[in-house]
């Protein structure tokens, strides 16, 4: 499939801006540009894939469902009505990008990197796992706690029409439609230099969207199953939150590095024990096993906090908007116009109302 003229022009503008600035991170930008261009060159209109007799029936069903959710996102959730997620790409691997998160050995605060367009974020994304692992190794060599994780979707924040990816076709309908709502929310509102705000906003839109989706499509059993999964997820995050609190108090203490290291190890062992207790409560549900067996460190907990810290605040804001998406987005835009400290203060006030 040939490059879209607009896509090629946009890429050239980005490349030119990098050359003009003599950017030291040009290699990183180029990896991202090449990776995204490769996906755009492989995309096909979703309907063509559905109509193709060689397309697997399960993929056809997934894509049909995804397109219904895409229409729902704009008509009901008032998210951008554009050509994003109208084309499909078979990525050919389990993840489309890999993200690298890092934190100091005695801090939960993630390291930030600053880039053109998106501002400063708490992670670096790579289309190549090898490139992600290579960069992670350099951070580990500096003594940082590092976490590399596969990601099934990403947003270009409206710079391009993002395609629907094979990695987004979860077996769970809730996760499948939710990821479309989440990524489109990033196109609706995105604040430079505030990853926690952006991810919590998109996650809140995702959660409310899934609830509305199952209500409108009249699938009570699937919604009940989804609510059970969310309850379990909330309990899992509660033990992570407790661990974060323990570690924060530890790192703020005046103990020696060796004492903190020993206490840090004991804290993560307690997390493992707590997880075993909760797992029994969940009838030995094993969905979090892989995450828990990766060799936990500060970066793992930093990643969780980035995506979930302010979600209750946005949920409260949605309630105060009487579930009116236009009013809700207007209020989020108002928050986004504040400086970071003012924004944090108002989010904290919303959190206290939610409690």
Per-10-residue mean pLDDT of the chain, 355 residues long, equals 40 41 62 84 94 94 95 97 94 93 94 78 90 95 95 84 90 91 94 89 95 90 88 91 94 92 96 94 92 89 78 95 97 96 95 81
pLDDT at 58: 92
Q: From residue 260, how far is each of 272, 281, 299 by CA, in Å? A: 18, 32, 16
Could you give the CA distance from residue 215 to residue 207 in angstroms, rounded to a whole number? 13
Name the residue among 113, 107, 134 with its Cα closest to residue 305.
107
pLDDT at 154: 84
Strand partners, 115: 119
Could you give the CA distance from residue 247 to residue 331 in angstroms, rounded to a whole number? 34
Could you give the CA distance from residue 86 to residue 174 in angstroms, rounded to a whole number? 19
Instruction: Give Cα 277 to chain centroid, integer Å.
Output: 28
pLDDT at 306: 66
pLDDT at 25: 66
Place of tokens 């579930």: 323
Output the pTM of the full model. Answer: 0.82
Strand order in the sheet with 124-126: 124-126, 97-103, 145-151
Strands 97-103 and 145-151: antiparallel
Could you give the CA distance from residue 140 to residue 157 in angstroms, rounded to a whole number? 30
3-state class of 245 per DSSP? helix
């Amino acid at each position: 499939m040939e490059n879209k003229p607009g896509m090629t022009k946009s890429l050239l503008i980005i490349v030119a801006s990098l050359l003009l600035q003599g950017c030291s991170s040009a290699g990183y930008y180029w990896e991202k540009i090449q990776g995204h261009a490769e996906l755009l060159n492989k995309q096909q209109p979703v309907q063509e894939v559905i109509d193709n007799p060689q397309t697997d029936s399960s993929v056809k069903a997934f894509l049909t469902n995804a397109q219904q959710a895409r229409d729902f996102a704009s008509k009901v959730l008032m998210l951008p009505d554009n050509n994003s997620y109208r084309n499909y790409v078979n990525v050919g691997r389990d993840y489309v990008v890999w993200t690298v998160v890092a934190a100091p050995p005695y801090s939960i605060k993630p390291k930030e990197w600053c880039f053109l367009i998106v501002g400063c974020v708490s992670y670096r994304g790579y289309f190549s796992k090898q490139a992600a692992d290579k960069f992670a190794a350099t951070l580990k060599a500096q003594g940082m706690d590092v976490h590399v994780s596969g990601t099934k979707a990403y947003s270009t924040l409206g710079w391009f029409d993002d395609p629907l990816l094979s990695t987004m076709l979860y077996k769970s309908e809730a996760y499948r439609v939710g990821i479309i709502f989440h990524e489109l929310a990033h196109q609706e509102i995105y604040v430079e230099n505030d990853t926690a705000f952006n991810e919590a906003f998109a996650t809140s839109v995702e959660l409310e969207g899934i609830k509305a989706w199952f209500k409108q499509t009249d699938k009570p059993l699937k919604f009940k199953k989804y609510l059970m999964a969310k309850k379990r997820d909330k309990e899992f995050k509660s033990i992570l939150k407790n661990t974060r609190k323990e570690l924060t108090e530890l790192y703020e203490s005046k103990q020696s590095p060796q004492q903190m290291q020993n206490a840090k190890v004991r804290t993560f062992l307690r997390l493992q024990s707590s997880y075993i207790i909760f797992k029994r409560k969940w009838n030995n549900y094993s969905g979090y096993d892989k995450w828990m067996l990766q060799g936990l460190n500060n970066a793992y907990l930093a990643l969780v906090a980035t995506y979930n810290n302010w979600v209750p605040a946005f949920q409260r804001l949605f309630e105060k908007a009487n579930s009116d998406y236009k009013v809700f987005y207007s209020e989020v835009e108002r928050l986004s116009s504040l400086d970071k400290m003012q924004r944090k203060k108002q989010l904290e006030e919303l959190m206290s109302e939610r409690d």
